[in-house]
Amino acid sequence: MEPKSYPTKEAIVLRGHHGSIPVVRFNANGNYCASGGNDRTVRLWNPAKGTLIKTYSGHGHEVLDVDIAKDNSKFASCGGDRMVFSWDVATGRTIRKFRGHEARVNCIRYNDEAAVLVTGSYDRTVKIWDTRSNNYNAIQVMDEAKDSVSSIVVTGHEIVAASIDGYIRNYDVRMGRLHIDCIGQPVACVRMSHDGNCLLASTLDSHVRLFDKSTGELLNEYKGHKNSDFKIDSAFSHDDAYVLSGSETGIVSIWDLVDAKVVASLRGHAGAILSLDYHPKEPAVLSTSVDGTIRLWR
């Protein structure tokens, strides 16, 4: 059995955004990535080569999240202007603009077929948008959160929404059911393991917690990083063997999922880490920071 592997060193630095970069996301095969900046642009990169492919302009405020459709033909973005944009990757044109949130939109995800978009906002709502119909209004609104919706996961017929109110809400859209887990601390990021069995929650008490998705049981805790003020991503490695988180100290921490020991600390950023995204197929991770750079670690 080959030893488990994880990123240990900086491979590439991507420069081009002006100011802080709230988000970076790989596409489905990991060949490209999209980033969103406080400079109101979305940028498409080939991270392995370190090249900027295209810049997309249209947002009126900072871009807080992006998601690339699985077929790579389009991507969606959201941010401080309360808008949800759907873009054509090749032409750079906006396909659709969805309005309806009453405050900044923190997070956005397609479903698997990219037929719907799901968004979470500072206005405390989760909204579902039909990308194929001529209806520009949300087709469903979930307003159970008592504070900002910070992060969402969309898989099959489930929407998992994390909120600063200290709860993670799992909506079964097909069955019309809602399951609520009390985390007890403001949740800044939620991720689902690739096997679908676990949820990873970053909380603003400098903890990352691992939960059983079906029972809500706390399985493990990861600490040693600092996260009390910023919305900072955590992530599972592509094989679910490791847990990663950014830190306000500018370090990316990597823990063994099972024994919760730090196995690596990635240093290079000159300010707080904001976004992390792990490569879908290999031991590589992208990070962004308030320092205005994106770094690829291998």
Is the predicted pLDDT of residue 2 greater than 60, yes or no? no
Quote the tokens at residue 236. Answer: 């599972």
pLDDT for the residue 1: 43
Which candidate, 263, 169, 275, places its Cα nearest to that of 227? 275
Residue pointed to by tokens 């601390």: 185
| pLDDT tens by residue, 229-267 | 999 999 999 999 999 999 999 999 999 999 999 999 999
Quote the tokens at residue 185. Answer: 């601390």
pLDDT for the residue 135: 84
The mean per-residue pLDDT over the stretch 153-172 comes to 97
Provide the percentage of residues in the chain whose pLDDT is more than 70. 99
- Cβ atoms of 268 and 10 within 8 Å: the answer is yes
pLDDT for the residue 136: 85
Provide the percentage of residues in the chain whose pLDDT is more than 90. 97
| pLDDT tens by residue, 123-138 | 999 999 999 988 889 9
pLDDT for the residue 3: 61
Written as one string, the DSSP assignment of the chain is: -PPP----SEEEEEE---S---EEEE-TTSS-EEEE-TTSEEEEEETTTTEEEEEEE--SS-EEEEEE-TTSSEEEEEETTS-EEEEETTT--EEEEE---SS-EEEEEE-TTSSEEEEEETTS-EEEEESSSS--S-SEEE---SS-EEEEEEETTEEEEEETTSEEEEEETTTTEEEEEE-SS-EEEEEE-TTSSEEEEEETTTEEEEEETTT--EEEEEESS--SSS---EEE-TTSSEEEE--TTSEEEEEETTT--EEEEEE--SS-EEEEEE-SSSS-EEEEETTSEEEEE-
Question: What residues have CB less than 8 Å from 153, skipping those under 6 apart?
Answer: 109, 159, 160, 190, 191, 192, 199
The mean per-residue pLDDT over the stretch 69-95 comes to 97
| pLDDT tens by residue, 191-234 | 999 999 999 999 999 999 999 999 999 999 999 999 999 999 99
Look over the chain and give the mean of its residue pLDDT values, rounded to a whole number.
Answer: 97
Is the predicted pLDDT of residue 14 greater than 90, yes or no? yes
pLDDT for the residue 193: 98
pLDDT for the residue 96: 94
- Please indicate, yes or no, whether the overall pTM of this predicted structure exceeds 0.95: yes
The mean per-residue pLDDT over the stretch 259-288 comes to 98
